Structure 1
């Protein structure tokens, strides 16, 4: 899966992650044909939240190998503590980030979030 967000959409995406961080300690990324779903559930399984970002939200949304696998979908579980700092300072994101690319590779189970900032600078995680 590969998707690209522009600067304004990165801010909205970051706010969704912040909202989910108040629910639970884990963030689930579920790339689907309908779009990218972000989910979180608390440790007692008494609270749950979900955001669905349609493909139209992204500048580019490509499932790639996910669609080739047929019914088998990729579900990525990330620790919220590792994702939250990336989107912590939304004012900085609004001013400096031109776009963000999120890639999920199925064979090696790797999620890469890459920020492309002004003046050609990159930030990868």
Structure 2
């Protein structure tokens, strides 16, 4: 006969879970969640920036919507292996960023534009 734990005996776990969810939200907001805002501001000139920012944020939220919509059906299909999809996509994104996104630190907008022109013609 299996003895189940008393209800409420692991109440501290709910507080740890709440803390970790809040930590995730904060870390996401200061990390990858802000990419559509600051990357677009660095890569586009002032006249194109509002349109580019709108498109980047719309694409970001659309992707978030589809991830939220598709996660539970994928989890039912793949169980805990569903996270391998995210790991594989993350690896692809890291390679893409390493190969295609230029370093903009200490560069002017003209230098960044020139870099994109050189990349597009190669």
TM-score between the two structures when normalised by the length of structure 2: 0.25
Higher RCO, Cα 8 Å, sep 6+: 1
Say which one has the larger Rg: 2
TM-score between the two structures when normalised by the length of structure 1: 0.25
